[in-house]
Structures are given as C-alpha cells and as structure tokens.
Structure 1
Amino acid sequence: MSVVVVTDSSSRLAPDECKQWNIRQVPLHVLVDLIDLRDGIDEVPYDIHAVPRATTAGASPADLAETYQHALRDSGGDGVVAVHLSAALSSSYSSAVQAAREFGSAVRVVNSRSAAMGVGFVALAAAHAAAAGADVDSVEAAARSAVERNHAFIVVHRLDNLRRSGRIGTAASWLGTALSLKPLLRLDVDGRLVLDQRIRTIGKAHAAMIDRVVELVGERRASIAVHHVDNHDGADQVGAALTDRLPQVESLSVCDMGPVLSIHVGAGAIGVVVQTAE
C-alpha cells in the first residue's frame, strides 16, 4: 500500500486527476438561506457569486475525520497527508487539525497557505511522492516543500465581495476610501490576502500581475494555473501572455475559481497561482 493524500474542494483538482493520483477530496460548503450545497458534490449555480445571501463554510471535523479514517484504512496503515486551504482564509485547516488528533501521527495536516490550485499543487506534490513509494514523513516533507514554492496573485473587479466576507486581511485599512481602485492582491507567506500594488484600471492591474509572475519565475521551471470568476476571455489573455513570456513553463492551465472562492472575490476576478520547480 502507500500513503494517501487528502485535500479539500478548493484545490480545483479535476476528478480524473484525483483518481490518477489517488487523492481524496472533502467538500467545502456553500450556504444559501437554509440550503447547504457541498462543493464538488451538489450542483451549485454558476453565478452563485452574485447571490448576496450566499456564504461559505469550511469542511466539518466530522466529514474530515471520516475521510481520514477511510484514507488511512486504504493506505494499509502507511499514513495520510492532508493538504488544506490556507488557515488564514478558512476554518478547514483548524477543523482538520482537530479531526486528525484521534489518529495520532498517522495523519499529518499541512496548511497550504494558499488557495485554488495553490492547494492543488501542494496536494499533487505530496501525491507524486506517495506514488513513488515515499513514507509518510517524506510525503509530508514533499508537501511542505511545495508550500514554500507557492505564490498567488489576484485582481478583483469590485471589492464588495471581499468587504462582505472579511477576507481582505491587512489591506482593510484602505478599503473605505479605495473602492475605485482595481488593486493587485497577493497571498503572503502566512496565506493572508494582502495588498501588493494600488492600480487604477483593470488592464493595468492584469499587466502588473503578469509582470509580477514573470519576475518571480525568472528562468526557472514552473507550473501555473490561471483562475477566473465568469471571465474566461480575460483569463485566456493572461494565460497567453504568460505562455509567451515564460516559454520554459512546464504546464499552464486555465479554469474557474470554483463556487466557494468566487463568493469571496466576485465576478470578473482573475488570479494566477505559481508553483516554482525545486
């Protein structure tokens, strides 16, 4: 048997990818009035980000414990490494730590300090190590190494969603007077959403994000994911620009940000997640 990797539905990993690498996903939740929709299981309206009543909730300790138990059994006792959405953005990580206590050292929980494919890249790094026969210590080490090589940027069209959700972090001090800005935001080393640059137009903000990614990657190999909320054309343009300027990139994908994250960043948002090579 081998170590099994668990993540949550924020990771944006495709079902085929999870199946290929034996990754288990726990759903996050979208709440609308009294309806609880499980991300990746229940059908969530594509425009859920436009529903003012929509909120989100992390994975529950009970769901996590059940998933960890099944994964540990399927590993034949080799162990489980769980990779979750940034602790600064979601309660899922703290719930995961709570759920993992009953399994002792057999279940290791890793804070991705990221979101979307930032979580997915870390889970994949762990799964690749597990598939190569690494023990649970080495699989955990592979995940933590990937965390250190993760970078994420996002440009939002409006700040309303972030303002409502409280996910803006240390950038909150300028929200009151900066509603006309199209800021470039990033996830810092602790996985908090913070201001990177103040910018006045969407076009300039996207250009600045591309420049930041190109500067960060340099001549290194990297994997990149471009995410969007109902803005596929804009995401394709950002992806094309990055492909042109970073020909050494190993992979570049474009996909939606998913319902949970879209509720917090709103329509039109485009984000870029980068995983640099070791």
Structure 2
Amino acid sequence: MSRTVLVTDSTASLPPEVTEARGIVVVPLQVVIGATSYDEGVGGATPALVAEALREFRPVSTSRPAPEVVRAVYEQVAAGGATEIVSVHLSGDMSGTFESAQLAARDAPVPVHTVDTRQVGIAAGFAVLAAADVLDAGGGAAEAADAARARAAGTTSLFYVDTLEYLRRGGRIGAAAALLGGALAVKPLLTISEGRVASLEKVRTAGRALARLEELAVAAAGERPVDVGVAHLAADERAAQLAERLGARLVDNLEGRDILCGEVGAVLGAHVGPGMLAVCVSPTPA
C-alpha cells in the first residue's frame, strides 16, 4: 500500500502539536549567533534568543540545511515505510533550502515531489496543511504537491518592520531596496511578491502602519473563507490586539476558525528584527 509523507522546514512556523498530529516531518534551518550554530526550534534557536542577540548587536546569521541533511531525512522517512514524499519549503529566492531539497531528492530512495511555495512563515505553513488535507482525503502525492502550490499562490503575506536595517544586513530586502537611504526613517509595509520581499507602502508612524496593515488584510480576505495568521517578534501585545481586531472584522470569513497568533520563528526573526508584525491571509481550498 502506498504511503506519502509530508516534509517541510522549520520556517513554516507550524506548531509542534500540529506537525505531530498530521505526521509532518520538519527539517530545521540553522541560526548562527556569534560563533555558535543552533538548530531552529525548541532547545535550539528561539525567537527570544534571536531578539536578544539583535538588541545587543551580536552577529546573527542563518543557513539552510545541507543537501545531505535533507537526504538523511528522506532516507529515514522511506525506512519508516513512506513510498513517496512531498517536500514543501519556503521561497527558493530567499533561502537555499528548496535547492537542498531538490538536490537531496535526486538520490532519495523514493520519489520526492519538491514544492517551492514562493512564500515564508505561516504562508508556507498553510500550503503544507493544504497538502496534508489532500493526503488525508485519499489524494496522491502529485495532487498534494499541486494543492500546496495553489494555496501558496493565492495567499497574501503582509508585514511591518520597525526598521529595514535587519533585512538589509541579511540581503533579503529584494525590491524593498528602493526604500533605503533617507527612507530608512519611515515605517515600511512590505509584502512577498514573486518569492521575494517587496515594498508595498510607507507611512510615517508605527500607529498608522499597523492600522494600514489591518485594512490591507481585510481587503485581501474579501468575501472569501480564509485562514489568517498573525506573527510577531518581541511584539506580543501589538500582535494580540491586531489578531483580536481582525477576528472581529473577519468573523464571517473565518467560519469559526481561530486566527493563529504567535511569535515568528528564529530564522525569519533574524532577518526582520524586534517589533516586526505580520499578517498572512490564505483563502481556504474550495
């Protein structure tokens, strides 16, 4: 009997209880603080650890899992009885993780369907869950991979950062580079476009930026059923307030589902810095 297993990476921001319940295997990325490398996740690099290091101006960088690490995961999954694998990852334009998955898939003992979501964070996580739903309904690996791609393509990711400096340092600023120079004093609203960070709007105060973030999220939802995630780094009070307001305004869209609200993972946090607030709006599959 065929059995397909889902693999993703730690930046998908799926809670451990969800990955365990759905049988999703998570490959960690690494965070390097000073001269010490940590796996992302509990017991390794946490958002609090990264936020503290950034505030103290200690060197913080991130790295992808090596192809041989991903291949070892595929081999372990296959040894556990998997006959096919669907491997869903963050944007290949912002991390080499997807490339590692592609390289590992060449030597994997079972067929691997690799998916570049062209998204980050919980937006990629929602794509993983779409694939899981297909598999749970009896669909095949190729169908699950297509579902992940489709959901990621329909998802809107919006975020606010207190400063573009951390994105600039990490080389992830992409199209938002137009905001550099004298514009570093503004409060930028950013999005993920074609797999990269892109500038959306710029406002003069944090209060206006957060109000605008709320409006853009409501507009992205429209009249459709959606899942919504709110993420932050060291801004839990603002995140909770935003999630509460969105929950009230999008009650019909949510159809009884809760808004996911939590701290962004350590890897993404290293590139956005303390104070970041993000909203992901993902239409549910028909």
Whether the aligned pair in 2 keeps the contact of 1:7 and 1:25 (CA below 8 Å) is yes
Q: Counterparts in 2 of 1:19-58, with a 5 A limit?
A: 19-40=20-41, 42-44=43-45, 46-49=48-51, 50=54, 51-58=57-64
Partner of 1:185: 190
How big is the shift at 1:150? 1.4
Counterpart in 2 of 1:6? Answer: 7
Task: Tell me how far 1:138 sits from its aligned partner.
Answer: 1.3
* Letter paired with 1:48: V
Provide the rounded CA distance (Å) in 2 between the counterparts of 1:216 and 1:269.
Answer: 20
SS at match of 2:167: helix
Q: Which residue of 1 aligns with 2:281?
A: 274
CA distance in 1, matches of 2:64, 2:159: 21
Are 2:120 and 1:115 equivalent residues in the alignment?
Answer: yes
Structure 1, residues 152-192: CA drift from partner, whole Å, max 9, x if none? 0110011211111111101112311211110110001x211
8 Å contact from structure 1 (residues 2, 133) kept in 2: no
Q: Equivalent of 2:242, from 238, 245, 261? A: 238
CA displacement, residues 88-108 of structure 1 (integer Å, 9 cap, x when unaligned): 211111111111112388101
Rounded to whole Å, the distance in 1 between the matches of 2:249 and 2:77 is: 41
**Equivalent residue number for residue 146 of structure 1:** 151
Q: Unmatched 5+ residue regions in structure 1? A: none
1:258 aligned to 2:265?
Answer: yes
- Deviating more after overlay: 241-250 vs 95-104: 95-104
Moved more, 95-104 or 153-162: 95-104
Distance 1:149 1:75, change over 3 A: farther
Superposition misfits of 4+ residues, deviation over 4 angstroms: none
Deviation at 1:142, TM superposition (A): 1.5
Structure-2 change in CA distance of 1:76 and 1:87 (3 Å): closer
Normalized against structure 1, the TM-score is what?
0.95
SS in 1 for 2:172: coil
> 1:21·1:128 contact (CA, 8 Å) conserved in 2?
no
7-16 vs 48-57, which moves further: 48-57
Which of 46, 62, 70 aligns to 1:64? It is: 70
CA distance in 2, matches of 1:75, 1:125: 22
Q: Look up the match of 2:174.
A: 169
Separation in 2 of the partners of 1:41 and 1:74?
24
In 2, the alpha carbon distance for the partners of 1:22 and 1:151 equals 26
The amino acid across from 2:88 in the alignment is V
Partner of 1:220: 224
| 8 Å contact kept, 1:129–1:139 | yes
Query: Structure 1 stretch 171-180 or stretch 39-48: which is displaced more?
Result: 39-48
Q: 1:155 aligns with which of 154, 160, 173?
A: 160
Kindly provide the CA deviation profile for residues 18-43 of structure 1, in whole angstroms up to 9, marking residues without a partner as x. 11111000000001233110012543
Shift of 1:244: 1.3
Flag structure 2 segments of 5+ consecutive residues without an equivalent: none
Report the TM-score, using the length of structure 2 for normalisation: 0.92
Q: Alignment partner of 2:129: what SS?
A: helix
The CA distance in 2 between the partners of 1:41 and 1:68, in whole Å, is: 22
Which of 200, 216, 219 pairs up with 2:204? Answer: 200
- Any idea what the Cα deviations from partners look like across 1:188-231, whole Å, max 9, x if unmatched? 1x211000111111111111111111111111110011000000
Shift of 1:2: 2.4
Note if contact 2:154-2:283 (Cα within 8 Å) is conserved in structure 1. Answer: yes
